[in-house]
Amino acid sequence: MPFADAVYNSLNNDSVVFRGNDQESTGQLLRGVVVLCLQSPLRVEKLHLGLVGTLRYSWTDPGLLGNKSILFNHQWSPFVGTHGTSMVLSAGNYEWPFECVLPGDLTESVEGISEASVQYKLTATISRSKLTRDLHTSKALRVIRTPSPEELETMAGVSIDNTWLDKIDYSISIPTKAAPFGGFITLKMLFTPLIKGLKLGEITVLLVETRDCFVQGSNTTHVKEHHTEREVSRWRFKVTMEDWHNTLEDTAQEGWALKKKLDLPNKIRQCVQTLNHSGIKIDHKIKVRVPLCNPDGHISELLTILPIMIFISPNMRLDVNGNMEDRLPVMSNPETATTGPPEYGAHVLDQLYDTSEVFQGARAQSEPVTRAQTPDQADSMRAGSSQASAFTTQRSSLDNAAHNAVENMEMDSREFHDLTRVPTYRTAVRTPFRSHAQFNDDTLPDYHTAAETSSV
């Protein structure tokens, strides 16, 4: 075998993320490189690369309906050679970069379920002579479609408020319908008994995944369907005396109040994202079962169902097996775990400028966001900049520029404090207009004042 590492593909990112539905999302650039390592010369006809997206149904009868179809097929021009002719590649290492703009309506990947799948695969092939076996290598590409920020904003929370058999008033809610894969859902439950002696048993909460597949047969009037449902997660909560409150949410009613965190699975094979395309529909819902212990001793059950949408956030990473590699701050922060990528005016993940980076280097994106510095902290940094001059001479030109910017920064504590109070875009556009007369005396003078001063 004349290969050291054979031929393989290297992608800048193993996942491509589309924001919004297939009607509103824009195309995404796929870029990578094909690498060939040869220990000895090799005669080849051509070396080419292709990206193929395949839809498979494993529950259908291949003899009647077929179980495989091509959703996407892109072939690059051969990097080496042409069909019918051959050439010899000398020993050594070769690299051929490639790129392609994927259309915005590309079907997202479907993994983790047995009855259907949508997979994308990059395959590099070395074609050789007719009597010699061709060489192939493949790399999986995951296509992710996540809701747009505008779509997430319209997904209000889900709440069920009702009275059950004149025995109990209840309110069960979640703050938002959208939940990120590998994140969590905050479940809030309020119960007010309407009869004396009523007690609550152990509450059971279920995350249920429902899957439906539809395949059009050769006969247009025949459609083959497949339905399955599975329990993804189960939680149990005991109701204790600590959950009893004399006043529920500033009301005159008394009852039980519970607020629970429901961690979602972090493996694709355990839970698939909510979707509906290519004859595959996957839905998710939260089932809440509340046993009611009546005064006469018999037990009845209150059942509520809350629909949710589970999406794959671009702020998380999945390995080749669909397992979450790590939890970024957006997944562990209660305030942002149920949100998708921020819109322009709400960059909650943007890292503020920190002069300590001149001495510590660039921080990893997974570190917590640095807080804005106080005037005292800024003064202490300026005082310590001279001690670090010997170290900064070994830094790159970019770090030297940042270091000089810190040394040349001259502002008093009041100016620094004012800069840290710059409002967000949304706050600014909603703030009423203020004339110059409403500002302090240190604002810029008007035209007449400036003209009189210059003439003196």
Quick one: 190 and 303 in the same domain?
yes
pLDDT value at residue 62: 52
Quick one: 21 and 138 in the same domain?
yes
Rounded to an integer, what distance in angstroms lies between the CA atom of residue 54 and that of residue 19? 22
Could you tell me the pLDDT band of residue 81, with boundaries at 50, 70 and 90?
confident
Mean of the per-residue pLDDT values for the chain?
A: 77
Of 88-97, 133-142, 323-332, 400-409, least confident by mean pLDDT is: 400-409
411 within some domain: yes
Domain boundary among 120, 146, 172: 146
406 within some domain: yes
456 within some domain: no
pLDDT tens digit string along 357-396? 433 433 333 333 333 344 444 444 444 443 433 333 444 4
419 within some domain: yes
Quick one: 239 and 159 in the same domain?
yes
pLDDT value at residue 449: 59
Say if residue 253's pLDDT is above 50. Answer: yes
Domain boundary among 87, 119, 146: 146
- Report the number of distinct structural domains present in the chain: 3
Quick one: 323 and 281 in the same domain?
yes
Q: Which residue has the higher pLDDT, 68 or 203?
A: 203
The CATH number of the domain where 162 resides is what? Answer: 2.60.40.640
In this structure, the dihedral spanned by the alpha carbons of residues 418, 423, 425 and 428, taken in order and rounded to 10 degrees, is -100
Quick one: 291 and 375 in the same domain?
no
Quick one: 167 and 295 in the same domain?
yes
174 within some domain: yes
pLDDT tens digit string along 159-207? 999 999 999 999 999 999 999 999 999 999 999 999 999 999 999 999 9
Quick one: 162 and 142 in the same domain?
no
pLDDT value at residue 68: 87
328 within some domain: yes
Mean pLDDT of 24-31: 93
Rounded to an integer, what distance in angstroms lies between the CA atom of residue 448 and that of residue 297? 88
CB 321 within 8 A of CB 198: no
Quick one: 416 and 402 in the same domain?
yes
Domain boundary among 127, 146, 165: 146
**Amino acid type, 449:** T
274 within some domain: yes
Could you tell me the pLDDT band of residue 439, with boundaries at 50, 70 and 90?
very low
Quick one: 154 and 142 in the same domain?
no
Quick one: 266 and 183 in the same domain?
yes
Quick one: 127 and 170 in the same domain?
no
Pick from 287, 321, 283, 323: nearest CA to 182: 323
Say if residue 417's pLDDT is above 80. Answer: no
447 within some domain: no
Quick one: 154 and 131 in the same domain?
no
pLDDT value at residue 169: 96
Domain that holds residue 42: 3-146
